[in-house]
Amino acid sequence: MVTRTLAPVGLRFTGEIDLSNVHAVTEALRACGNSGDLHLDLDFLSFCDISGIRALVAHAERRDDKHRLMLHGLPAQIERVLDVVGWAELPGLAFCNCEVAA
């Protein structure tokens, strides 16, 4: 499930992302545009497959170090996949441990 967050401005993903719902993730990210930092709260995301991670990374690729995709509460499972497939080192991608309010 995707919900909007207000402080900071962004999206919260909960539940599981896989082939069955990855289109919704891509659409939600596209709707946010590319200006300013975009914050994603992943703390309540229990599973994300490669297609879901690719959707996040592909969105980060369209950004740069001034308009970053900030990932909050990155679950260990996603961190491990990012590391194994070698996508963690993108200039438009940043990791953050601070709180996100709805």
Partner 1 sequence: MNDHGFRHEALFYASEDEFLLGTVPFIRQGVQAGDAILVVESEEKVRLLRRELGEDASAVHFANMAQVGANPARIIPAWREFVEGHDHEGRGLRGIGEPIWAGRSADELVECQRHESLLNVAFGGGRPWRLLCPYDTEALPAYVIDEARRSHAYVSERHVELPSPQFRGIDGSAAVPDTPLRPAPREAVAITFGAEDLGNLRSFTGRYATGAGLDQTRTDDLVCAVNEIATNSVRHGGGGGTFLMWREDGNLVCEVRDRGRYDKPLADRERGHGTSTPRGLWLANQLCDLVQIRTYATGTVVRLLMKVRILTTA
Shortest Å distance, C-beta 69 to partner 1: 13
Judged by beta carbon, residue 37 or residue 61, the one nearer partner 1 is 61
Nearest 5°: the CA angle 80, 54, 58 is 125
| Positions in the binding site for partner 1 (CB under 8 A) | 16, 18-20, 47, 49-51, 54, 57-58, 61, 76-77, 80-81, 84-87
Closer CB to partner 1, residue 3 or residue 77?
77
Q: Cβ closer to partner 1: 62 or 66? A: 62
Helix, strand, coil percentages for the chain (3-state, nearest 5):
30, 30, 40
The one-letter amino acid at 73: G
Nearest distance, CB of residue 80 and partner 1, angstroms: 7
Which SS3 state, helix, strand or coil, does residue 36 take? Answer: coil
What is the enclosing helix (H) or strand (E) of 7?
A: none
Contact 76, 45 (CB under 8 A): no
Q: How far is the CB of 99 from partner 1 (least distance, A)?
A: 25
